[in-house]
Amino acid sequence: MRDETKCLHTGYTPKNTEPRVMPIVQSTTYVYDSIEDVAAVFDDPMKLLIYSRFGYCTPP
C-alpha cells in the first residue's frame, strides 16, 4: 500500500456493518464577512449561495 493511501485510511477502524473504506462526503462550507450577510442570505436563500444545489441565481 502506498504512503498516500495509508494516510487517507489512518484512524478509521470500521465496526460491524460499517463500510470497510471510509465514505467520501462531498460537502462544502461558505464564508461570510458578517452576521448581517448571513442573515440576508437566510432572508432570501435564492439570492446568494447558501446551499450548493441552489446554484447561482440571477434576479429576473
Task: Please determine, for residue 33, whether its predicted confidence score (pLDDT) is greater than 80.
Answer: yes
- The beta-carbon contacts of 16-23 under 8 Å, at least 24 apart in sequence, are none
Residue 45 CA to residue 12 CA, distance in Å, equals: 36
Give me the chain's average pLDDT, please. Answer: 75
User: Can you give the pLDDT at residue 27?
Assistant: 73
Q: The pTM is what?
A: 0.36
pLDDT tens for each residue of 14-24: 889 888 877 77
End-to-end CA distance of the chain: 54
